[in-house]
Structure 1
Amino acid sequence: MSRSICSRCLSQQIPSPRLFPIPFAQAAAFSTTPSHSAAAKKKVVTKPGARQGTTLRLSKNKREAGGRPPAPGERKASRKKISLGNPNALEVQGLQDLTTDYASSAKLAEVEGRVLGLQEQSVEALKALEAFKHTQGWRYFRKPATLVRRETVDLAKAMEEAEESAEGAKRWVLCGEQGSGKSVLQLQAMVLAQQRGWVVVHLPDAQDIAIGHSSYVPSGDGKTYIQPHYTAALLSRIAAANQEVLSKLELSQTHDLPIPVQSNISLSRFAELGARDPEIAWPIYRALMSELTTPSATRPPLLFTMDAIDHIMRPSGYLDGDAKPLHSHDLAIVSHYLSFLNGSSPLPNGGMISASTTASNRPKSPTLSHVLATHTKPQQWDPHHGYTTSQTSTWDPYAPFDQRVADSLAGVEVKEIKGLSKEEAKGVMEFYALSGMLRGEVTERLVGEKWTLSGGGVFGELERGSVGMRV
């Protein structure tokens, strides 16, 4: 009886289901469904950890405070610093100097193709004239030395002719490709002129005159413009380089000067007065040049040179009163130099006027290029007269023609400086070897190889290929 359970009684013991089911959230003990509650916190996303390993961290380039700023002109002086010696180079045994014994063309012809050293006196004068350039290879060798080439002998012959008579005065324009040796040939002319007792006046870079970086004021004639500070610096160079010659010459004329000057003052002291005061530099410069070009048996010949003449054959960087560009020929110092170059101002005591072009930073001057091409055009065959040089050159009708440039070069003799001969190349390479800057034996094969690679003996390329590549 105890085992028998009534199904009716059993059904009464099971609770009856509710009409409304229990919510799932309350009934379930565990769930993976996300909560939709508004109060639930947002999910936080963690950043990935930093990459392990070493990294290069560069600090910012901060300028140190308290340093002295460069003085005016200090950067330019450092950039154009010229070194005239190399203590690491060997001293060439038996190197002869270019003394007064070699001032004649006959003596120079005997040593053609050899390298001669420059005396200390000549080096100091050339430094005062600013004849050395930082692009030249003086820094490779123990002391400054120069090669006696065929053009050097021709230069000495021309200077001998210029001393004989006033009609023998030479007016040259040196042209050629970059590194051909135009500036060095002018340097040799200054050395020979100094040894002969000439007065040397040198304008080292025409770009400094025409670029527009110097002070300028209108002159009294109202046509030209004076550059007081540049003229004062030029007088300083003239006085320093020609001290020995000018100290023996005295003022012989009466000049209209802004200051009283002693009547028998030496020309060296006279030039120093103008170098100290830019306000009176131009009148003193004109008076000094007038004294040097006065016909007299006691006045020495004059060598007047300019480098990079291309920069004065075009408009300058200066402006006139109407804010229009000034032509370079309107600058007083340029006009004065060109009067000697074209022959309008004679040299009664003899001398030479020399100008050289530049190929490294040459500005555009169609008229100058036309004149140089006309004078250096190759010879042509004429069945009646043999080989003749044509004096005509094709002119570009679309290029502007500058008559003032053409007139300034009237009657000049254009000298094209070409490469060295193989004999001259051998002589300079032997000097490189004796200086320890070229290792190995200088053979005919090596000379021929370097001569060919330098474009037919272009001096600058030969030096760069023989010495510059090693340094």
Structure 2
Amino acid sequence: MSGLLPSLGRALPSASSSRAAAFSTSALVAAAPKMGAKSFAKKKSPSKRQGPSPRVKVHRLKLTSNLARPAPDMSDLVQLFPESIIAENTAKLSVIPRKTFDVIQTFGLPAKVDKDLTLGAPATVIRQATLDIVKALENGKDGDSKEARYMITGERGAGKSMLLLQAVSYALESGWIVFYQPRASKWVNSSSQFAYNEEKMMFDQPEAATDMLQKLLSVNRKTLSKVKLTEDVVLSDATVKKGEGLDKLIDHGLKEDSDTAVATLDAVLNVLSTQTQFPVLFAIDEVQSLFCTSKYRRPDFKLLEAYNLGMPRVILDLLSGAREMKRGAVLTATALSQTDVLPSDSLIKGLGLPIRRTMHAYTPIDETYYNYANSGIKRIDVPFGMSGHEAVAMFELFARKGWTSNSEYQVSSFIAFHISPVMLSSPVMLMCSDYDLGSEAIRRIEAPLGLASEHLHR
């Protein structure tokens, strides 16, 4: 019995401990003991090496980017020389001569076709519209620019920028003095300095004028050196003597500060307007941006109209005939991919373009823009969609360059052909079903795409 007391005392709490429990601020109820970290720890057995580590198997990477592919061989294609732009070469692939393309790159390229022309050879398709534009330039090269003022218009993706580029290539190869601006929206997007000219009552753009002079000289130096000044030209700190070449005038202007560039450009344009040795081409893409309110602001924070800025005013005067060249042409193109500078209502009404939005008697029309547009500019309307043979040539280009169906340029081209991009998996079937192309055209597109002839008969 006495042996049970110690064990019973251990099992039952004492009175003092009970009282302490009643006034305790912490729970003394026995909780389940926490499992120590060691409870689930597994004993790690030391790793045993059995000889050298096995080698990692290296797989060869397969690069699918266009940048990783070798440049396609385009040596068999027609070179886009003036004598090649003939009816017999319509709907054929051609390549802009490398020397000429390098010169064009001095001016820059349209944003939409920049990547596609610089990857591999600068290939393009000679279209019926190409022949029409070249014929218009050829007919006007010996006459007054007032009779050769053109605007290439058409739906988005119709190929207007490429047609303008082909015309520039033709003019350079034919000995014209050429100025090409592929992105006219830069003149109105408030990206360069401007200053008010009290004498002209408009805003000069010295940086843009300098850029224009530099490119004009870089591309046409040899030809400009043959155009002689007929009188002395006084710049800010120098006088260019009568009999000097026009290239010397530009050189002097570029040596001075940027403000002198504006006066130099005016003098250069005056000389180009009166000389008759060489035809002069002003080629402007995104021209619709010159018929809109600009992003520049006056000191009172009101937005400036494009015709109040120096560079747009030069082109608007040439395009409207307010400034004439005795020998030359002005060729422009609209670019509907520039959604922030779509054609204004004034341009649409003045040029008679298709109306894309509701216009009524109270639609605001800027009279100045309207008069510029309604000045006798000749429209060159590019049809929406290519002929069947022209489309085949484009597919051949896609195949040669290895472009996939998600290529931005290819997708936009499908839209221009009235073709759905999902049809790329069977382009030959598409061509055969939509057009009467003939076996030779079928073989042209079938071979580079690697399609078997049985695809045609499924």
> TM above 0.5, one fold?
yes
The answer to whether structure 1 residue 285 and structure 2 residue 265 are counterparts is: yes
Q: Verify: 1:431 aligned to 2:397, yes or no.
A: yes
Give the CA deviation at 1:230: 1.3
> What displacement does 1:348 show?
1.2
CA shift, 1:434, in A, is: 4.1
Pairing 1:69-468 to 2, within 5 Å after superposition? 88-102=70-84, 107-133=85-111, 135-138=113-116, 142-166=120-144, 169-263=147-241, 264-276=243-255, 277-294=257-274, 296-298=275-277, 300-363=278-341, 365-372=344-351, 374-376=352-354, 395-410=359-374, 411-417=376-382, 418-437=384-403, 454-455=414-415, 457=417
Q: In terms of mean alpha carbon deviation, does 456-465 or 318-327 score higher?
A: 456-465
Query: Partner amino acid for 1:157?
Result: K
C-alpha distance in 2 between matches for 1:211 and 1:195: 32
Which segment drifts farther, 328-337 or 414-423? Answer: 414-423
| Cα deviation code 1:189-238 (max 9, x no counterpart) | 11111122111112222221111121111114252100111111111111
Higher helix share: 2
| Cα distance between partner residues in 2 of 1:261 and 1:462 | 64
Q: Which runs of 5 or more structure 1 residues have no equivalent in the other structure? A: 1-26, 54-83, 378-392, 440-449
Distance 1:464 1:283, change over 3 A: farther
Residue 459 of structure 1, CA deviation:
9.9
Partner of 2:50: none
* Aligned residues of 1:234 and 1:275 also touching (Cα < 8 A): no
TM-superposition CA deviations, 1:83-130 (whole Å, max 9, x none): x9986132034222112433xxxx521201111111122112101111
**SS where residue 179 of structure 1 aligns?**
coil
For the structure 1 residues 141 and 254, does the alpha-carbon distance in structure 2 shift closer, same or farther, using more than 3 Å as the test?
Answer: same
Residue number among 34, 42, 63 corresponding to 2:26 in the alignment: 42
Return closer, same or farther for 1:431/1:221 CA change in 2, 3 Å cut-off: same
- Return the offset for 1:453: 9.2
Find the residue that maps to 1:122 and give its secondary structure: helix
| Contact kept? 1:419, 1:459, Cα under 8 Å | no
* SS of match in other structure, 1:191: helix
Change (3 A) 1:181 1:273: farther
1:174 shift after superposition: 1.8
- What's the TM-score once normalised by structure 2's chain length? 0.72
> Structure 2 counterpart of 1:181, which letter?
G
Opposite residue 420 of structure 1, the aligned amino acid is M
Gaps of 5+ in 2: 1-11, 42-65, 428-444, 450-458
Distance 1:256 1:33 in 2: 115
Task: Provide closer, same or farther for how the CA distance between residues 86 and 451 of structure 1 changes in structure 2, counting only shifts above 3 A.
Answer: closer
RMSD (CA atoms): 3.9
Distance 1:464 1:123 in 2: 30
Q: Which has the larger radius of gyration?
A: 1
Cα 1:139–1:174, aligned 2, differ >3 Å: closer, same or farther?
closer
| C-alpha spacing 1:326/1:186, structure 2 compared with 1 (3 Å) | same
Deviation of residue 179 (structure 1)? Answer: 2.1
Does the 8 Å CA contact 1:85/1:143 hold for their aligned counterparts? Answer: no
CA distance in structure 2 between the aligned counterparts of 1:220 and 1:204, rounded to whole angstroms: 30
Counterpart Cα distance in 1 of 2:349 and 2:321:
20
Q: Is the 8 A contact 1:161 1:168 kept in 2?
A: no
Relative to the length of structure 1, the TM-score reads 0.70
Q: Which residue of 1 aligns with 2:3?
A: none
**Secondary structure of 1:293's aligned partner:** helix
